[in-house]
Structure 1
């Protein structure tokens, strides 16, 4: 089994949740999202972010607006839609349940050692 592949798959599994959570804080520029995801070691490949943002937009979970920039072309800032907020709330509930379940299992394993 390839350990690095397993780590990548775990990160991919929570990437959508993390992106929606970042956007939930307010309007956010894609490069700022990328920077935060990279520093948190959730994502390191830029080519993954843009297709995912497009898919989330096409699903009605987020929207964007163009903002003029004084230092170049206009920037696209992302925001959650009402459906996106509801979806994120549901993902948060699932995350809490999953986190609790994993902690329970890993704690049981620690007690057996």
Structure 2
């Protein structure tokens, strides 16, 4: 992954993870796997886990511990109402930026 992609992801990864959770609840490794399925192959699990801690602390997700067949219980993250609001704001901001970038790309028309 190039430096430019890494820098852009820093500002958008939270919104991407919230969008994944909007589809259905998930645990950390599952979120990482979904990111990789979407082409974000260079994102480290540690990055995702640190982000999950932050969004939990900010109250954007509800967390439940569920038993795991392979070790300790898993923390399953579910997007809550505050998280949905945050995701809606992310999409509005993304739409604004995407429109402006497309205008610049087309020569300022």
Q: TM-score with structure 1 length normalisation?
A: 0.84
> Gaps (5+ residues) in structure 1?
none
> Gaps (5+ residues) in structure 2?
none
Q: What is the alpha-carbon root mean square deviation over aligned residues?
A: 2.1
Shift of 1:71: 3.9
> What's the counterpart of residue 3 of structure 2?
5
Structure 1 runs of 4+ aligned residues shifted over 6 Å read: none
**Which residues in structure 2 correspond to 1:6-85 (within 5 Å)?**
6-39=4-37, 40-41=39-40, 43-85=42-84
C-alpha change, 1:42 and 1:96, in structure 2 (3 Å) is farther
SS of the residue corresponding to residue 108 of structure 1 reads coil
SS of the residue corresponding to residue 64 of structure 2 reads strand
CA deviations on 1:69-109 (whole Å, 9 max, x unpaired) are: 23433221101121111111111111111111111111227
SS of the residue corresponding to residue 78 of structure 2 reads strand
Deviates more, 1:36-45 or 1:7-16: 36-45
> What's the counterpart of residue 85 of structure 2?
86
Deviates more, 1:68-77 or 1:27-36: 68-77
Q: TM-score with structure 2 length normalisation?
A: 0.87
Shift of 1:46: 1.4
Q: Of the two, which has the highest radius of gyration?
A: 1
